[in-house]
């Protein structure tokens, strides 16, 4: 028997279409509070993301061809 997982937004309760969602992770500076993870729709994540800033990618830059 096949099973289908349905994801629902933690903010609005809307169903999140497959491949169209995001996970928001909240980390507190006080580690004792732990970490909170929210499943949200793309639209909700964009709206919340406008208030924040982009984080630079980590790691080494790729070598130029050849």
Pairing of strands 21-27, 35-41: antiparallel
Is residue 42 situated within a structural domain? Answer: yes
Is residue 20 situated within a structural domain? Answer: yes
Is residue 22 situated within a structural domain? Answer: yes
pLDDT in tens, the chain (66 residues): 888 888 999 999 999 998 899 999 999 999 899 999 999 999 999 999 899 888 888 888 878 765
Is residue 38 situated within a structural domain? Answer: yes
Residue 45, domain extent? 7-49
Q: What is the pTM (predicted TM-score) of this model? A: 0.69
11-26 pLDDT, tens per residue? 999 999 988 999 999 9
Is residue 31 situated within a structural domain? Answer: yes
Is residue 54 situated within a structural domain? Answer: no
How many domains does one find in the chain?
1
pLDDT at 23: 94
Is residue 18 situated within a structural domain? Answer: yes
DSSP state of 11: T
Is residue 21 situated within a structural domain? Answer: yes
d(CA 48, CA 62): 31
């Amino acid at each position: 028997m096949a099973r289908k997982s349905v994801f629902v937004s933690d903010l609005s309760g809307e169903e999140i279409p497959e491949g169209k969602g995001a996970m928001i992770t909240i980390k507190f500076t006080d580690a004792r509070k732990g970490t909170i993870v929210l499943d949200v729709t793309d639209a909700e994540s964009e709206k919340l993301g406008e208030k924040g800033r982009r984080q630079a990618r980590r790691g080494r830059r790729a070598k130029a061809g050849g």
